[in-house]
């Protein structure tokens, strides 16, 4: 709706594409646009349906939708239902900063919990670009998406990660403040 297009591929990735400049008219006379990737995430699930909509509990107040951006439901062939919500530019910058600090510290923690290592690794974007596939890892860091699951994982591991993550942010945020901020972010996804 705002010039952005959500796309899924056959390698379990999500892309957020944004219209750039107009490149001419199509045969039908409608304008054509070049697209640029502004977000990428390895979902790990094969999406077969993307629809506007949101998961809501029976107790959700109807007026809440006025303050929220676009929301989408993604259905997968594995039977999962994924909720995606757009976030305003003012909030997303801080969320991405916190997300990066969490990722750095979960990866530094290393082999203490192999399931955590696997959780972070499978979120890496798997590129369909042949040049990237021939690289050593074939994976890129996700970008342009705030990963609510990663924030929830941080809350589960807050005792181990909060101070390290606050230090990585290096902006004066205390560990306790960071945990509260992440809890607020998680609550906003609900």
Domains of the chain in start order, with CATH, are 4-85 (no CATH), 89-189 (1.10.150)
Q: pLDDT by residue (tens digit) across 35-50?
A: 888 888 888 889 999 9
Q: pLDDT by residue (tens digit) across 4-32?
A: 889 998 888 888 898 887 777 777 778 78
Fill in the DSSP letter of residue 90.
H
| Percent of the chain clearing pLDDT 70 (strictly above) | 73
Q: Which of 53-57, 61-65, 149-153, 186-190 has the lowest mean pLDDT?
A: 61-65
The pLDDT score that the predictor gives to residue 115 is 60
Model confidence, pTM: 0.69
Tokens 């996700």 sit on residue: 142
Q: Is the pLDDT of residue 109 over 80?
A: no
What backbone phi and psi angles, to 5 degrees, belong to 135? -75, 175
With bands split at pLDDT 50, 70 and 90, how would you rate the model's confidence at 92? confident
Measured between alpha carbons, how far is 15 from 185 in angstroms, rounded to an integer? 22
Contact 32, 23 (CB under 8 A): yes
The pLDDT score that the predictor gives to residue 44 is 81
Contact 73, 47 (CB under 8 A): no
List the end-to-end C-alpha distance of the chain, in Å, as a whole number: 22
Cα distances from 139 to residues 104, 112, 122, 129, 185, in angstroms, run 16, 23, 9, 10, 27
**Average pLDDT score over the chain:** 78
């Amino acid at each position: 709706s705002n010039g952005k297009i959500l796309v899924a591929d056959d390698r379990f990735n999500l892309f957020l594409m944004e219209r750039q400049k107009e490149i001419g008219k199509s045969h039908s006379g409608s304008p054509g646009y070049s697209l640029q990737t502004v977000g990428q995430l390895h979902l790990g699930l094969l999406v077969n349906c993307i629809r506007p909509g949101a998961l809501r509990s029976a107790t959700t107040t109807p007026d809440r939708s006025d303050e929220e951006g676009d929301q989408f439901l993604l259905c997968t062939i594995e039977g999962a239902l994924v909720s995606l919500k757009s976030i305003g530019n003012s909030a997303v910058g801080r969320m991405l900063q916190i997300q990066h600090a969490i990722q750095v510290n979960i990866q530094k923690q290393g082999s203490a919990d192999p399931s955590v290592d696997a959780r972070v690794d499978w979120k890496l974007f798997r590129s369909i670009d042949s040049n990237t596939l021939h690289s050593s890892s074939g994976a890129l860091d996700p970008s342009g998406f705030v990963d609510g699951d990663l924030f929830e994982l941080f809350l589960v591991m807050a005792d181990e990660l909060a101070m390290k993550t606050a230090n990585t942010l290096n902006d004066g945020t205390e560990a306790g403040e960071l945990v509260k901020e992440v809890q607020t972010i998680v609550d906003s996804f609900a």
